């Protein structure tokens, strides 16, 4: 379980810069194996929230707890997937997927076997020795997803991971993610700007306010998991997307 208690974070305020309050009194609980989508206007602190859970940024106030223990640094129980892939350009698919395992000291034969298994699982069989420059955006993101899963984290922190690809590829990646999570359930915090994506993937959607970022509302999705192929036709799916847009539009209108 992840708990955020009265989390606050301000950037700047030094050398003549005006301070920017990214997070202000954020309280949120995410249950084990829950898939939570975070939705909100640009600049509302969604990425800062993920980085605080990952242990990549320190807070100015409040705390993050995982299973009751405070987060003070990155750990093997958490893995992040970024929008812009963050692949090693000089390394092939197998080496990129195995990178986290290498850092953990996993023997070479074991980590390469795990990387090849995950390459197949994300649809990259036959591309194990390709370099990032030889892959499409969707294929690069599959590498990023496989790399995160390779270390078998309890928690996946996903920062708009499908935001840089076209709509068709995004749908395929969403389906890949669901299929992989059905094999090995994880706790997922997934940042998105898309109402459709939030409703399509999440067990719950957390709406955040414009800066300073606060939790405005937490909405239960109430749709079957995994999502059926005709989910777009479910009245609840249509209703939820409209509700989320209504709330966001009201915030953006000020």
What are the extents of the domains in the chain? 2-77+155-252, 87-152
Give the tokens for residue 94: 């197998």
pLDDT tens, position by position, for the chain (254 residues)? 999 999 999 988 667 678 888 999 999 999 999 999 999 888 788 899 999 999 999 999 999 999 999 998 998 899 988 877 778 999 999 999 999 888 888 899 999 999 999 998 888 999 999 999 999 888 998 898 899 888 889 999 999 888 777 888 888 888 888 888 887 789 999 999 899 999 999 999 999 998 888 999 999 999 988 888 899 999 999 999 999 999 988 887 76
Q: What is the CATH number of domain 2-77+155-252?
A: 3.40.50.300
The residue written with tokens 């069989």 in the block is 125
Return the pLDDT at 221.
95
pLDDT reported for residue 42: 80
- Cβ–Cβ < 8 Å for 196, 116: no
Contacts of 69 (CB under 8 A, 6+ apart): none
Question: For residue 91, with 0-12 CB atoms within 10 Å meaning exposed, 13-18 middle and 19 or more buried, which class applies?
Answer: middle
- What DSSP string runs through 8-70? EEEE--STTPPPEEEEEEEEEEE-TT-EEEEE--TTSSHHHHHHHHHTSS--SEEEEEETTEE
pTM strictly above 0.85: yes
- Cβ contact 23:7 at 8 Å: yes
- Bridging pattern class, strands 35-39 and 187-192: parallel
pLDDT of residue 191: 94
């Amino acid at each position: 379980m992840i708990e955020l208690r009265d989390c606050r974070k301000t950037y700047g305020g030094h050398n003549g810069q005006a301070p920017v309050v990214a997070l202000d009194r954020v309280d949120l609980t995410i249950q084990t194996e829950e898939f939570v989508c975070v939705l909100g206007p640009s600049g509302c602190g969604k990425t800062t929230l993920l980085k605080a859970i990952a242990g990549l940024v320190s807070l100015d106030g409040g705390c993050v707890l995982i299973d009751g223990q405070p987060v003070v640094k990155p750990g093997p129980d958490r893995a992040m997937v970024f929008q812009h892939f963050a692949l090693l350009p000089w390394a092939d698919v197998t080496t990129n997927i195995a990178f986290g395992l290498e850092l953990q000291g996993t023997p070479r034969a074991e980590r390469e076997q795990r990387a090849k298994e995950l390459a197949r699982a994300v649809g990259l069989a036959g591309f194990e020795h390709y370099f990032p420059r030889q892959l499409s955006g969707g294929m690069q993101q599959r590498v990023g997803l496989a790399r995160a899963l390779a270390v078998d984290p309890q928690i996946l922190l996903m920062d708009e991971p499908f935001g840089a690809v076209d709509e068709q590829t995004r749908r395929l990646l969403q389906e890949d993610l669901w299929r992989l999570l059905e094999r090995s359930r994880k706790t997922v915090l997934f940042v998105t700007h898309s109402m459709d994506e939030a409703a399509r993937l999440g067990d719950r959607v957390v709406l955040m306010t414009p800066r300073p970022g606060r939790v405005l509302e937490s909405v239960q999705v109430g749709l079957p998991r995994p999502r059926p192929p005709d989910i777009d036709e479910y009245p609840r799916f249509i209703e939820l997307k409209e509700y989320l847009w209504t709330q966001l539009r009201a915030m953006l209108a000020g």
